[in-house]
Amino acid sequence: MVQLVGSLRKELADSLSSCKVLVVGAGGIGCELLKNVVLTGFKNIEVIDLDTIDVSNLNRQFLFQKKHVGKSKAQVAKESALQFCPSANITAYHDSIMNPDYNVEFFRKFVLVMNALDNRAARNHVNRMCLAADIPLIESGTAGYLGQVTVIKKGMTECYECQPKPTQKTFPGCTIRNTPSEPIHCIVWAKYLFNQLFGEEDADQEVSPDTADPEAAWNPEDTAARATASEKDGDIKRVSTKDWARSTGYDPVKLFNKLFKDDIMYLLTMDKLWKKRKAPTPLDWQQLENGANPQEDTPASGLKDQQVLGVWGHCQLFQHSVETLRSQLQEKGEGSELVWDKDDPPAMDFVTAAANLRMHIFSMNMKSRFDVKSMAGNIIPAIATTNAVIAGLIVLEGLKILSGELESCRTIFLNKCPNLRKKLLVPCILDPPSANCYVCASKPEVTVKLNVHKTMVLSLQDRILKERFGMVAPDVQIEDGKGTILISSEEGETEANNSKFLSDFGIRNGSRLQADDFLQDYTLLVNVLHTEELEHDVEFEVVGEAPDKAPPPQTNQEEVNSITNGNKDSAQPSTSSKARAAAADDDDDIMIVDSDEEEEEGAPSSSTAAPGASSGTKRKHSDVETGEASTKRPRTDQSSAAAAADDDDDDDIIALD
């Protein structure tokens, strides 16, 4: 007779009380997960989260209360969990899991790692650390009503990076600066502008008209005289935007006329841009003030954030937000910077006002503050019950692992609507590792196409190895027979190389670079493919991914619009081709992307399976993260009765709403 402790077998209950587990993330899923882990009988738990509690977390992260705002999520989650299970041994870290202190030896002390993360970089890192430590990892994510849980085990299943994530689309700089055609372009511009004026300046986030726009093909010397931008209010000059703003004392009216009048009039001198487009209409503060109608911006009924102000209303909002942000800068002292946060009212007001004024200039319908926040902060509405369901599934998969039943683990999708068998939860068999994975293959290797005469060593380090391939502290040597060290993770050793081009070190077409990340216990061989034919604004391409590996983007305009209102890409919790079909990115409600750079092209609810579709072909779903169709592998025909009986077959999955 099986002896039970509560609802668990005694052997399993004993295992739970003695094993040590790591929970990464204490947000939407993390709070629910820590509660479940403690109540299930786990006694030795470590939880890590870098974030602090914000008031916006309180509607769904139930371990936190108003008195906890501003405190460490991990520490408060620990204290709250101990209140209903004082016997648990919980260690909390208010830190980043990517800190070098949490090395492979740190991970090896755990029997199981459970992820509740919200960004691709951290997910990549934990994936690699668990592979290096040979520890099972349970990955998870939610987005609105959609969710997913999957299990990753070295040598048995696909890892998080086995399937290439669709390349995050970046907006060409000339589109943002010269020819915006969608509200998201104006919102990206406004976020760039915030950083240029109040935050950390980035040369890649310039907001002034782009005279190098290849489409303009104009001669500035011939037409500059037609630009009537006034010297006093800030003519187009190649000086720092922040320096110019400081010189005006952050005068809201001067800033307004520079950004929405002078710059726009300068754009109008680029004749060729407006031959097939509607030309923008400059705004003048004095004219708007003189013609302001007091009734125009009288608050309408309904929620304030969902009202769309008039042009003068946004002018006043711009003025007020600039004055507030100027005061914040002055309070912080000389040389200080502000960080844009969607939950900071003055910062959100500034982006709302600047974006809407630019939308009006370029003949687009203006948006409410709520809509702008959704796009700028990339928010998908948070559903607390989704987090709870996913957290419960994480623990159930964990119990399988601790019972020694890894082969029975599944990737499980939570759908918004029941499928044809009236199921909301759809399990799929885990896929084996990909032989071509550049992370978990026996000898990871990639080919990168770039221009060795234009790519600097710093770009190789930051843009390619760190940003694209997820390394934390790479060391790179050239396989040239001499073992030339190109990049060292030791501070100061190779900094002199940063501003040099790859060709300066003899790197050419066919060169091979060995990149090592000792923290991740990870080595990647990079084959260099020199080319001078990359598209404009494209620094490099990874050969073999887009377009032949990444699924084609959808083109339905309605879907594009719906995703533009908030769905952004950052990290995909899925590992398999099945998982990609229904993957939800974030740990609770946000699909994060640098919307300053990137745009989604689809919506979670894109396609519907035809009732009469052939059972011999897998249906396409819209990827929650990317909005792109993911095609299932064809399977052999079987009777409909057999298909109906097979609960684990991924043919269960229908298009998600």
Q: Is the peptide bond before 381 cis (omega within 30 degrees of 0)?
A: no
Q: Is 59 annotated as a binding residue?
A: yes
- For residues 389 and 322, the answer to whether their CB atoms sit within 8 Å is no
Do the annotations mark residue 437 as ligand-binding?
yes
89 is in an annotated binding site: no
Q: Is 369 annotated as ligand-binding?
A: no
- Determine whether the annotation assigns residue 49 to a binding site: yes
Contact 38, 395 (CB under 8 A): no
- 57 marked among binding-site residues: yes
- Answer yes or no: is 159 a known binding residue: yes
Is 409 tagged catalytic? no
48 is known to lie in a ligand binding site: no
Q: Is 18 marked as a binding-site residue?
A: no
Buried b (16+ CB within 10 A) or exposed e, 24-38: bbbbbbbbbbbbbbb
Q: Which are the contacts of 306, defined by CB distance < 8 A and separation ≥ 6? A: 368, 369, 370
Pairing of strands 112-115, 20-24: parallel
Separation CA 220–CA 226 (nearest Å): 10
120 is in an annotated binding site: yes
Cβ(503)–Cβ(459) below 8 Å: no
410-414 and 146-152 strand pairing: antiparallel
Residues 6+ away with beta carbon under 8 Å from 221: none
The values of phi and psi at residue 114, to 5°, are -120, 120
Q: Are 77 and 116 in contact (CB under 8 A)?
A: no
Residue 525 in marked binding region: no
Does residue 358 have a known ligand-binding role? no
DSSP structural state of residue 220: H
In the chain, the N- to C-terminal Cα span, in Å, equals 46
Rounded Cα distance between 33 and 47, Å, is 10
CA distance 516 to 469: 12
Report the alpha-carbon distance of residue 146 to residue 591 in Å, rounded: 12
* 144 has binding-site annotation: no
Check 174, 186, 315, 428 and give the catalytic one.
174
Rounded CA-CA distance 386/151 in Å is 19
Is 396 labelled as part of a ligand binding site? no
CA distance 216 to 219: 9
Residue 162 assigned as binding residue: yes
440 annotated as belonging to a binding site for a ligand:
yes
Give the alpha-carbon dihedral of 261, 262, 265, 269, to 10 degrees.
-170
CA angle 517, 27, 165 (to 5 degrees): 45
In this structure, the strands spanning 8-9 and 44-48 are: unpaired
Does the annotation list 25 as a binding residue?
yes
Residue indicated by tokens 């010397």: 221
Q: Are 623 and 567 in contact (CB under 8 A)?
A: no
User: Is residue 122 annotated as involved in ligand binding?
Assistant: yes
Annotated binding-site residue? 123: yes
455 and 508 in contact (C-beta within 8 Å)? no
Strand 512-517 with 522-530, pairing: antiparallel
Residue 142: what are its φ and ψ, rounded to 5°? Answer: -135, 155
Active site residues: 174
Which residues are annotated binding-site positions?
25-30, 49, 57-60, 73, 96-97, 118-123, 159, 162, 437, 440
Binding-site members for Zn(2+) are 159, 162, 437, 440
Binding-site residue numbers for ATP are: 25-30, 49, 57-60, 73, 96-97, 118-123
